[in-house]
Amino acid sequence: MIVVRTAREMALWSERYRAAGLSVGFVPTMGALHEGHVSLLLRARDECERVVASIFVNPTQFGPGEDLAAYPSTPDEDLRAASEAGADLLFLGSPPDMYPEGYQTWVTVEGLTRPLCGAVRPGHFRGVTTVVAQLLHLVRPHRAYFGLKDYQQALAIERMARDLHLDVEIVKCPTVREADGLAMSSRNVYLGARARAAAPRIYRALVDLRDLARRGDDRVEALRLRLVESLAADDDLQVEYAEVLDADTLEEFPDGTVPPGASILAAVAARVGTARLIDNIVVPASSRHRGRSEGGGCRRGRS
């Protein structure tokens, strides 16, 4: 695996790959790699002739008082994990190179970044879309892989790529979880024993809501309350938001009812101990309708 440390060198490698007619897959990360990241690399490995990974803890997506300085860093393990997962090239970005003195160009996606994390982390998505736009220009991949654990981020990046006519396919990949349901995250290392025991209860609450939706309940407030009540009853979880939105637009459902053809996104951000965790679940329209045609309240046959 080749390791490059400057934007210029990265651009030269992309040029080389393109000139050789090779398809390039790209997996941007902030490092402290875990199985979630590895799943994206393996998918890229499957689908592309060259795989580029990047590690860059992007300062512009952290707000004041957030965990930029403390963000986990495991550089030796990351090199091994990226190489074992089949990356051909690892780009290690640095702040002075990505944001040279006098830097003043930003990319913002509007509507999709307004709710959820956008509402509680002002400037966060501006940092994300800006750095991803830079990385896509440097790496020039044919496909770029993003995890649905960061659902809002994946949608915003997909929108940005479409709006800016970037010639890249954004591939959205499923959330990889621990055996007890906790979504894998670099930030899980912040969890002490008690917080670690509590953290999977976020996913359990999301699954509960999904079951209710699958049984045919289409009342937004009933679904949201199911989520909020099970989380609020838990002393170890401080909920920042718990929302039920249209999974395609991230807008609220008008009239308080989920229309038949719509998919539901249920999304949660919560503090657990010192960690801030996010998770979500999507209930596709097809699975809701199956629930309904099977006769509403019937619990049998749940997956």
Per-residue binder mask for ligand AMP (CB under 6 A), 51-90, x = binder: ----------------------------------------
DSSP assignment letter at 249:
T
- Is 42 a binding residue for ligand AMP by CB under 6 A? The answer is no
Residue 142 corresponds to which tokens in the numbers above?
A: 């044919």
Strand 89-92 vs strand 275-283: parallel, antiparallel, or unpaired? unpaired
For residue 202, the surrounding DSSP H or E stretch is helix 200-214
Q: Is the dihedral of CA 157, 149, 1, 169 positive or negative?
A: negative
From 35-43, 92-100, 193-201, 238-246, give the range in contact with ligand AMP by CB under 6 A.
35-43
Q: Is 185 among the residues that bind ligand AMP (CB under 6 A)?
A: yes
| Residue 176 within binding range of ligand AMP, rule CB under 6 A | yes
Interface residue with ligand AMP, options 14, 39, 60, 113 (CB under 6 A): 39
Looking at 52, 53, 170, 184, which residue binds ligand AMP (CB under 6 A)? 184
Long-range contacts of 12-17 (CB under 8 A, 24+ apart): 13/52, 13/89, 14/52, 14/138, 14/139, 14/140, 15/140, 17/50, 17/140
29 binds ligand AMP, rule: CB under 6 A: yes
Site for ligand AMP in 139-158 (CB under 6 A): 146-147, 149-150
DSSP designation for 167? S
Question: For ligand AMP, which residue of 14, 60, 152, 186 counts as binding (CB under 6 A)?
Answer: 186
Q: Is residue 183 close enough to count as binding ligand AMP by CB under 6 A?
A: yes
Mapped onto helix, strand or coil, the DSSP state of residue 62 is coil
Residues forming beta bridges with residue 169, ordered by sequence position: 143
Task: Based on the shown chain and the rule CB under 6 A, indicate whether residue 40 belongs to the binding site for ligand AMP.
Answer: yes
Chain residues that interact with ligand AMP, rule: CB under 6 A: 29-30, 36-37, 39-40, 146-147, 149-150, 173, 175-176, 183-186
Which residues are designated catalytic? 37
